[in-house]
Amino acid sequence: MQSNLLETLQEFGAKHKVFGIILSLMLVAFIGVTDYLTGRELSFSIFYLIPVSVATLLIGRSGGIILSVSSAAIWLVADLSAHSQYSNILIPFWNATVRLGYFLIHMFLLSYLQRVIGDQRLKSLTDPLTGAANWRFFEQYAQKELERERRNKKPLTLVYFDIDNFKKVNDSFGHDVGDELLKLVAELIQNHLRQSDLLARVGGDEFVILLSDTNFEKSSLLLDRVKSVVMGEMQSHQWPVSLSIGAVTYLSLPASLNAMIKKADALMYSIKHSGKNDIKHIVWPSENHSEN
């Protein structure tokens, strides 16, 4: 719940930094005026943490520092304007310095918490070995993309592939080499994808790729290129593996993500059962495209 709230605030702040700054400054100004009008008897000290927190969450550490300084300065002005009596003229400035220190500590702790939550969330959504997305993140991302593609009526290509003979690598070279192979395959493929595309590891040696707004021709060129690059690297390491790739370009999207994956998965397994090391790519609903 807290993670989702912080993520929402961060995404909003990234798109509306100017709004975040204005909102934070308005808050600190409102609190300062209220503090001045109510006099010394009522304390509003804790409320200055609100704009500091808002700026930190929406804008980041730099925003938190700016609002910490602004809050301490406005509090000092409110104190001086109230003509409060002090035993030494430097006391209000000392108080302002202490308040600034407290605001900055609060800001740094909140910023650190924000970063820790972000790191933990990232770890929970990625495969620890390859750095690719895990199934949980793929499912979340794919659902959003499906909704967007349905609105925009754009094609979408789903790719499911398996590393042939991967067990032989583990048995012959050891699991450390097998892990190195998986990481290399993920890295090579990721280097050929756009920022809007997504690679996910969904099994031991099985991966899925979502190619947003990509038609049959473009996705076919990409798959041929990726397979060629990966096979070149596998041969250079003398690893006896290949790729079986099933891909479906959807011109009209099925009702569910699982239905889409099953089609690509079935194509991949048909290759596994007929000799391996191939690409089978179709369009759905069927058009006059030949399969690879």
Burial (CB count within 10 angstroms: exposed 0-12, middle 13-18, buried 19+), residue 104: middle
Are 147 and 280 within one domain?
yes
* Residue 255 pLDDT: 79
Are 216 and 89 within one domain?
no
Residue whose pair of structure tokens reads 């209000």 in the numeric block = 92
Are 68 and 119 within one domain?
yes
At 120, list the tokens.
């933990």
| Domain assignment of residue 292, yes or no | no
* Residue 84 pLDDT: 67
Dist CA 209 CA 161 (whole Å): 8
How many C-alpha atoms does 127 have within 13 Å on its Cβ side? 24
Q: What is the CATH number of the domain that holds 213?
A: 3.30.70.270
| Domain assignment of residue 168, yes or no | yes
| Domain assignment of residue 42, yes or no | yes
Residues 6+ apart with CB under 8 A from 95: 76, 79
* End residue of a domain, out of 83, 106, 125: 125
Report yes or no: 55 and 24 within 8 Å, Cβ to Cβ: yes
Dist CA 110 CA 22 (whole Å): 20
At 72, list the tokens.
């301490």
Residue 278: active-site member: no
Are 141 and 264 within one domain?
yes
Question: What is the DSSP annotation of 15-55?
Answer: H-HHHHHHHHHHHHHHHHHHHHHH-SSS--GGGGHHHHHHH
Are 164 and 214 within one domain?
yes
Q: What is the pLDDT along the chain (292 residues), one digit of tens a residue?
A: 334 444 544 554 555 566 767 777 788 788 878 877 776 666 677 788 888 888 888 788 888 888 888 888 887 887 777 666 777 888 888 888 988 998 899 999 988 888 887 777 767 788 989 989 999 889 988 988 888 888 888 899 999 999 999 999 999 999 999 999 999 999 999 999 998 899 999 988 999 999 999 999 999 999 999 999 999 999 999 999 999 999 999 998 887 888 899 999 999 999 999 999 999 999 998 765 544 5
| Domain assignment of residue 289, yes or no | no
| Domain assignment of residue 212, yes or no | yes
* Residue 292 pLDDT: 54
**To the nearest 10°, the Cα dihedral for 283, 284, 288, 290?**
40
E-state strands within 10-167: 156-164
Q: Name the domain count of the chain.
A: 2
* End residue of a domain, out of 95, 125, 155: 125
H/E stretch holding 209: strand 206-211
Are 76 and 20 within one domain?
yes
Are 66 and 179 within one domain?
no
Catalytic residue (one of 35, 197, 205, 265): 205
Are 202 and 272 within one domain?
yes
* Residue 17 pLDDT: 67
Cα dist from 262 to 131, 181, 196, 259, 268, whole Å = 24, 26, 22, 5, 10
| Domain assignment of residue 290, yes or no | no
Are 142 and 266 within one domain?
yes
Are 186 and 115 within one domain?
no
Q: What is the span of the domain harbouring residue 200? A: 135-284
| Domain assignment of residue 220, yes or no | yes
Neighbours of 53 (CB within 10 A): 19
Are 108 and 192 within one domain?
no
Dist CA 39 CA 87 (whole Å): 19
Dist CA 87 CA 71 (whole Å): 24
Are 106 and 140 within one domain?
no
| Domain assignment of residue 44, yes or no | yes
Round the CA-based radius of gyration of the chain to a whole number and report it. 28
